[in-house]
């Protein structure tokens, strides 16, 4: 893999306190990428992650900052960028918009309107606001990588309700539009659409969703590391843009 292009650059990873975000942070750090990492409530988890990254990849002399952000709030995202400006002296070269909310309510008649609005803010509007915060810098330097964390739900599958599907489907639609608008600036925009990734807050382990695991053709949960592999492929493969990559063990 051609990783030289990303070494020394700055990545913003939202939701780095969670399973998939932490795995992405590990692989980016391993390849010498400086990091701005966000968490929402889990301070312990982000602190442990940074300690681990600094010791495991010490030879990369990484600049790693952490930021408490509710991505549902545009004001808090604005403060995040002010903090990044101060602590890194630049805006991110890569955006991994991964933070997500997935309260599971299966049927539309049980989903309150407020829950729909909240989910759309956190899972969809946040990525719009985040892209606005990084895009001018990426345009100016004619290099940028944007990856959204979508879901199999974007295609109608998964175990959650229509509010989650709408938020993730919206992400994939926005990704496809942005990829055509931003290609001329050498900014790639893609998403990863995982399903049933274990060791995460959303899917702690196979026992938590036993019946669903039985339906996965590969017969097991995916791992955060496998999800991060796909993210790394996208940020290191600038010729790929406008793609939604399903990572689902064969689930449709
Ligand atoms: N696990 C799966 O099978 C699966 C499948 C499809 C898609 N995904 C997507 O993958 C992404 C990462 O989830 P995960 O599986 O790694 O689950 P996770 O371990 O629960 O991580 C979720 C992350 O999002 C953060 N977050 C939640 N609400 C937030 C908010 N309002 N503002 C800012 N950050 C917020 C959490 O922060 P705190 O913990 O600090 O509060 C945490 O870092 C999500 O977008 C999810 O929809 C996961």
* Reported confidence tier of residue 145, pLDDT bands at 50, 70, 90: very high
pLDDT above 60: residue 173: yes
pLDDT at 75: 98
What is the spatial distance between Cα 149 and Cα 227, in angstroms, rounded to a whole number? 10
120 lines ligand 1 (CB under 6 A): no
DSSP 106: -
184 C-alpha to center of ligand 1: Å? 31
140 C-alpha to center of ligand 1: Å? 31
Q: Which of 243, 251, 226, 20 is nearest to 158 (CA)?
A: 251
Asked if 106 contacts 160 with a C-beta cutoff of 8 angstroms, the reply is yes
pLDDT at 84: 98
pLDDT above 70: residue 232: yes
Distances in Å between the alpha carbon of 111 and those of 23, 169, 201, 215? 31, 17, 21, 26
244 lines ligand 1 (CB under 6 A): no
Mean pLDDT of 115-138: 98
Q: Where are the domains of the chain?
A: 2-193+224-247
Class of domain 2-193+224-247: alpha beta
Using only C-alpha atoms, the chain has a radius of gyration, in whole angstroms, of 17
pLDDT above 60: residue 1: no
Question: Mutate which of 102, 164, 230 to test ligand 1's pocket (most atoms within 8 Å of Cβ)?
Answer: 102
75 C-alpha to center of ligand 1: Å? 20
What is the spatial distance between Cα 158 and Cα 160, in angstroms, rounded to a whole number? 6
18 lines ligand 1 (CB under 6 A): yes
Annotation says 239 is catalytic? no
99 C-alpha to center of ligand 1: Å? 5
**Strand, coil or helix: 138:** helix
Mean pLDDT of 197-221: 95
198 lines ligand 1 (CB under 6 A): no
pTM, rounded to two decimals: 0.98
Residue 33, burial from CB neighbour count under 10 angstroms (0-12, 13-18, 19+): buried
Average pLDDT, the chain: 97
């Amino acid at each position: 893999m051609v990783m030289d292009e990303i070494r020394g650059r700055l990545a913003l990873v939202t939701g780095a306190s969670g399973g998939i975000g932490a795995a992405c942070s590990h692989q980016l750090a391993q390849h010498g990428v400086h990091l701005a990492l966000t968490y929402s409530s889990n301070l312990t988890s982000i602190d442990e992650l940074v300690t681990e990254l600094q010791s495991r990849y010490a030879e990369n002399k990484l600049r790693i900052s952490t930021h408490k952000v509710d991505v549902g709030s545009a004001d808090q995202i604005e403060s995040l960028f002010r903090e990044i400006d101060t602590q890194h002296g630049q805006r991110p070269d890569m955006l991994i918009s991964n933070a997500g909310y997935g309260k599971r309510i299966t049927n539309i008649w049980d989903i309150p309107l407020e829950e729909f609005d909240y989910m759309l803010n956190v899972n969809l509007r946040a990525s719009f606001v985040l892209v606005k915060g990084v895009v001018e810098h990426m345009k100016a330097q004619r290099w940028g990588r944007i990856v959204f964390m979508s879901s199999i739900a974007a295609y109608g599958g998964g175990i959650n309700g229509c509010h989650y599907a709408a938020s993730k489907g919206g992400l994939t639609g926005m990704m496809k539009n942005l990829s055509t608008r931003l290609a001329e600036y050498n900014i790639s925009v893609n998403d990863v659409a995982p399903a049933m990734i274990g060791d995460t807050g959303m899917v702690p382990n196979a026992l938590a969703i036993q019946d669903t695991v039985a339906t996965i053709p590969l017969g097991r949960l995916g791992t955060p590391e496998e999800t991060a592999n796909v993210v790394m492929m996208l940020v290191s493969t600038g010729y790929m843009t406008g793609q939604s990559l399903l990572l689902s063990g064969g689930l449709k």
